[in-house]
Structure 1
Amino acid sequence: MSLPVHLVPALDGVVVGSTVTVEGDEAHHAVAVRRLRVGESVVLTDGAGTSVTAEVASTGKRVFTAVAADVRRVAAPAPAVVVVQALPKGDRGELAVEVLTEVGVARVVPWAAARSVAVWKGERAAKSLAKWRSTAREAAKQARRPWFPEVDELASTADVVAMLSTASLAVVLHEEASVPLASLALPADGPLVVVVGPEGGLTEEEVAAFTAAGASSVRLGAEVLRTSTAGVAAVAALLARTPRWG
């Protein structure tokens, strides 16, 4: 049985025998919801490459302490994969973030595409971004990732163009493209950027702007996938050709 994973702000300087204190909502969930008890083992991570297996030493209302039994620090996975995700309608955005986190992306960039049905403005934008970030955090714990993905602020098309111009490889998923994703040669290192359009599809102007910035317009196959699943399919296809999944 896998040990429960809890996110802590920092694990700098933690060695075997160190006592780590976990507070706030993370501790409340562990103690009040999961009924964490003294003597149980947990995994603590800072989401930045350090994971600590520890034994619970004490519990409180919104706090628990644990003594480190094993400390592991790992480098960030390479090549890094970034997904620019057009805003989907309903809860499909959280679904996309969840599966992208599980498959190992380093960064998710919400994008306000021309044909996105959902609109992030004002208070709704703040709440929606918070949901995406919370989803990424919980999915990373479930996937036992030592490195948690970043979820950016909402990007405009101009922001995406600037990002694509600096990528080692950038692809735009487009059902009308003639080039298969699998035919592209992968660079030795990243970042690899994948752009996923909205339910209504990409506009000609968006495709033109992205390809002018150096991205390749590609297709996955004959099937047309939902925006919430196209990204994870593309990322899996890319990672299968890298040492990360080799």
Structure 2
Amino acid sequence: MTAPVFVVEGAVPGDGAYVLDGPEGRHAVSVKRLRAGEAVVLTDGLGAWCDGVVTGSEGKDRLLLDVGPARVEDEEQPRITVVQALPKGDRGELAVETMTETGVDAIVPWAASRCITQWRGERGLKALGKWRATAREAGKQSRRVRFPVVADAASTKEVAKLLAAADFAAVLHEDRDAPSGALASAELPTSGEIVLVVGPEGGVSPEELAVFEEAGALPFRLGRSVLRTSTAGTAAVALLLGRTGRWG
């Protein structure tokens, strides 16, 4: 079994004794019940990490470790960003969780015109916080040391800027008269940035699609079936990771 991952605040320690405390230490001691001799990984979630071996514990929230040298995991190429339209209920957290486990590098919440859910004021800040917390926990669960960045919610105009700057830009659009499965045969870059837009349950509006096409994005379908917005991004990311060799 792979070593569990814990997040440290600030710089990742290296070569010596270290005490993991706070919420992460409490989880390690009281929930995971780690014992002397067991292996762990410490990370800042930004790519820096180190191996550690448990030497003991103090109380209910202090895990004593002997850690190895700090290392940095480079960003994989090409980088994959998913612009995710806001789903209803907790399906947003589901999308973030599964895309994180799959290997997405960044997630941009998008309030599409046909989204039933809208993020405004305190409700929007709370929802964004949930997405970011989900990405962190899913990153730990999937043993990642570089967690996906969950950006602030973007407008259609801001999404268009991301698409224009990308090396490959695509929009998943169920109503588009495009060959089924075309994304599986599209020519992809070997480096740089791939930006993928996942529309809401009601689909991308003609006006939004026109803006995105003007920015250089191509519309695609994944296959014959129509996926929900909360699962389409995960399926597309898996396809892109396989085709670019990142899953090789």
What's the TM-score bracket when you normalise by the shorter of the two chains?
A: over 0.9
Contact 1:86 1:197 in 2 (8 A): yes
In structure 2, the partner of 1:153 is 152
Alignment match of 1:187 (pick from 169, 176, 189): 189
Contact 1:38 1:59 in 2 (8 A): no
1:212 maps to a residue whose letter is E
In structure 2, the partner of 1:21 is 19
In structure 2, the partner of 1:210 is 212
Alignment match of 1:49 (pick from 47, 50, 60): 47
In structure 2, the partner of 1:5 is 5
2:127 maps to a residue whose letter is S
1:117-155 superposed Cα distances (whole Å, 9 cap, x missing partner): 111111211111111111111111111112111101111
Bigger Cα displacement from structure 2, 187-196 vs 206-215: 187-196
Q: Distance in 2 between the 1:191 and 1:21 partners? A: 38
Q: Distance in 1 between the 2:97 and 2:235 partners? A: 13
Bigger Cα displacement from structure 2, 21-30 vs 112-121: 21-30
Per-residue deviation, 1:97: 0.3
TM-score by length of 1: 0.92
In structure 2, the partner of 1:201 is 203
Helix, strand or coil at the partner of 2:42:
strand
1:62 maps to a residue whose letter is D
Helix, strand or coil at the partner of 1:102:
helix
Aligned length: 244
Contact 1:51 1:146 in 2 (8 A): yes
Per-residue deviation, 1:241: 1.2
Bigger Cα displacement from structure 2, 160-169 vs 32-41: 32-41
Matches within 5 A, 1:78-227: 78-177=77-176, 178-179=178-179, 180-227=182-229
Q: Distance in 1 between the 2:122 and 2:200 partners? A: 22
1:164 maps to a residue whose letter is L
1:10 maps to a residue whose letter is G
TM-score by length of 2: 0.92
Superposition RMSD on alpha carbons, in Å? 1.7
Q: Distance in 2 between the 1:150 and 1:37 partners? A: 32
Gaps of 5+ in 2: none
Helix, strand or coil at the partner of 1:165:
helix
Q: Distance in 2 between the 1:99 and 1:188 partners? A: 24
Q: How many percent identity over aligned positions? A: 53
Q: Distance in 2 between the 1:32 and 1:239 partners? A: 36
Gaps of 5+ in 1: none
Helix, strand or coil at the partner of 1:114:
coil
Bigger Cα displacement from structure 2, 95-104 vs 38-47: 38-47
